[in-house]
Amino acid sequence: MATSQAIYGSTELLQIADSVAREKGLSKESVIEAMEQAIQTAGRRKFGHEHDIRAEIDKKTGEIKLYRVRTVVADDMPEATGEEGVEGFNSATQIRLKDALKLDKTFEIGNEIRDLLPPIDFGRVAAQTAKQVVLQKVRDAEREKQYEEFKDKTGQIVSGTVKRVEYGNVIVDFGRTEAMIRRDELIPREVFRPGDRIRAYISDVRREKSGPQIFLSRTHPEFLAKLFAQEVPEIYDGIIEIKAVARDPGSRAKITVYSKDSSVNPVLSCVGVRGSRVQAVVSELQGEKIDITEWSPDAATFVVNALSSAEVTKVVIDENKGRIEVVVPDDQLSLAIGRRGQNVRLASQLTGWSIDILTEAVESERRAEEFNSLSQLFVEALDVEEVIAHLLVTEGFTSIEEVAFIPVEDLTSIEGFDENVAQELHNRAQSYLERKQQENEQKLTGLGMEASLIGFAAQHPAIKQDWLEKLGEAKVLTLDDFADLSTAELIEALPNASLTPDEAGELIMAARASWFEE
């Protein structure tokens, strides 16, 4: 063991640690740890940086002990050669087992020997270094505390004071820490000056070398939702739920709400008596107009509610494409679309549907075009008069396949069609499809496509005829060629097919199933 002992320090050190901890809002232990680091730094300056110097401060008496620490290693450890990457015996931080046993018979390899060092006289340079180490460690502890305090506050609204404005970015002071609102996270045309009170939404908290970075936002959709939660007790209590928010910051916003209690009207609750609740939110957002609508599980009702101010006469849903066509009276078109398309754009963001606005006149004209084109299709394919073709279209038939595969009894239920007429239409439709199939197969065979791929397509109605032609042009001619494609390659080969990656992947995996068949 060590032959000399140095115990020094005083309760004054603990008083300083207490004072710093209170001033910075830190724990006393973290400040004492910073002081120990500072003393270790000064000790290495005096005794040599090659040594493992450690300091301990007694948390009751303030006494300081300075040690040199060495690790017990095997006697046969070779001497250090200085070659990079090769470890060797270091007499400054290690001691061989035979020498350690001379000090204490109980020592084993891996034990640490702690030699107490004599007290050091802090010179000006050493004292300054120690002070800087303490300050740096205190700052690090302070930053860590700030990060721990704010990391769980992401998604909350906070209030602070504007400290300064730099290049359009607003620095907000919370007392012991600062946060920043970037210029693009401020509502357009709003101006803040040092000393102004400000409320904002914590959008992100990051741990960085310079300290925790807290980013605030006044344009985030959730800022609007949180403001309503503060103003409307029913939202705070969970009776009313905010389903979605869409914003054009500083101009207009839409919010859709749902009440879990049928006796509570969610829209009226958010508006408040004489609009008091919504007006409080509008004032905070610099006059941003807010449409409050009621959420509905029915997509058509939800979209109609989201368009709010416009009168809707018809809604057509295409679930496969995620699109909704909304028909409005001619004089309601501009109201439904809104200034620069704002109303329909926000409604689309709110509902998650792609919304197309049509006037009754345009929709009527399109219906007439579709009616005429379908009628012409039936006239040519089934070799029937226009009257019969018109009847089929009026009854909702949109393709030859529907006529070919519908039960004959259903055709006879159409007014003016007896059993003979229905059977003849049924037969003509099937004959037409057979002729088309033969023509298509001949065309595909001419491209060099094998029957295996043609048969696979016949088993999967999702694969359309024009897809096969495109595949033939891309030299995908066998079922193995198709199965070898990647999802991206299949989508690239069929640019107009509107295939999603999932749909393409399912078709490819279905083709690969043949590889595992006996």
Residues 452, 501, single domain; the answer is: yes
Q: Are residues 13 and 115 in the same domain?
A: yes
pLDDT of residue 370: 86
Q: How high is the pLDDT of residue 2? A: 36
Name which of 394, 412, 391, 392 is nearest 402 in CA terms.
Answer: 392
CATH number, domain containing residue 212? 2.40.50.140
Query: Is 250 within the bounds of a domain?
Result: yes
Structure confidence at residue 257 (pLDDT): 94
DSSP sequence for 41-92: HHHHHHH-TTS-EEEEE-TTT-EEEEEEEEEEE-TTPPBP---TT---B-TT
Residue where a domain terminates, one of 217, 249, 274? 217
> How far, in Å, CA of 375 to CA of 382, rounded?
10
pLDDT at position 86 is 54
pLDDT at 1: 36
Q: What is the CATH number of the domain that holds 42?
A: 3.30.1480.10
Question: Which two structure tokens, joined as six digits, stand for 424?
Answer: 């003849």
Are 192 and 104 part of one and the same domain?
no
Does residue 14 share a domain with residue 138? Answer: yes
> What was the pLDDT predicted at 121?
62
Mind spelling out the 3-state secondary structure of 424-474?
A: HHHHHHHHHHHHHHHHHHHHHHHCCCCHHHHHHHHHCCCCCHHHHHHHHHC
Residue 83: predicted pLDDT: 61
**Do 45 and 100 lie in a common domain?**
yes
pLDDT of residue 104: 80
Q: The pTM is what?
A: 0.58
Return per-residue pLDDT of the chain as tens, 518 residues: 333 333 344 566 677 777 767 766 667 777 777 777 777 877 787 777 888 888 887 777 777 788 888 888 888 888 766 565 556 777 778 888 888 888 888 888 888 888 888 776 655 554 555 566 666 666 666 667 777 777 778 888 988 899 999 888 999 988 777 888 999 999 988 889 999 999 999 988 887 766 668 889 999 999 999 999 999 999 988 999 999 999 999 899 999 999 998 899 999 999 988 889 999 999 999 889 999 999 999 988 899 998 877 788 888 888 877 888 888 888 888 888 888 888 999 999 999 888 888 888 888 888 888 888 888 988 888 888 888 888 888 888 888 888 888 888 888 888 778 888 888 888 888 888 888 878 777 777 777 887 888 788 777 777 777 777 788 778 888 888 888 888 888 888 887 767 788 888 888 888 888 777 64
Question: What is the predicted pLDDT for the residue at 227?
Answer: 93
Query: For residue 31, is it within any domain?
Result: yes
45 and 22 within one domain: yes
In a domain, 307, yes or no: no
**Do 91 and 136 fall within a single domain?**
yes
Domain that holds residue 208: 152-217
Residue at 16 is within a domain: yes
Tell the burial category of 383 from Cβ atoms under 10 Å away from its Cβ (0-12, 13-18, 19+): exposed
- Measured from the Cβ of residue 194, the count of other Cβ atoms closer than 10 Å reads 12
Q: Do 29 and 110 sit in the same domain of this protein?
A: yes
Amino acid code (one letter) for 184:
D
Terminal alpha carbon distance of the chain: 79
CA distance 306 to 108: 77
The verdict on residue 395 lying in a domain is: no
Which of 295, 311, 338 is the last residue in one of the domains? 295
pLDDT of residue 6: 38
**Residues 305, 315 contacting (CB under 8 angstroms):** no
Q: In 335-353, which positions are buried (b, 16+ CB within 10 angstroms) versus exposed (e)? A: bbbbeeeebbbbbbbbbeb
- Residue 333 inside a domain? The answer is no
Q: Is residue 354 part of a domain?
A: no
Does residue 118 sit in the same domain as residue 75?
Answer: yes
- How many structural domains comprise the chain? 4
Same domain for 255 and 210, yes or no, is no
- For tokens 């001033």, the residue is 23
The domain that contains 456 carries what CATH number? Answer: 1.10.150
Of 275, 295, 315, the residue that ends a domain is: 295
Residue 132 forms part of a structural domain: yes
Same domain, 173 and 209: yes
Indicate if 287 and 164 belong to the same structural domain.
no
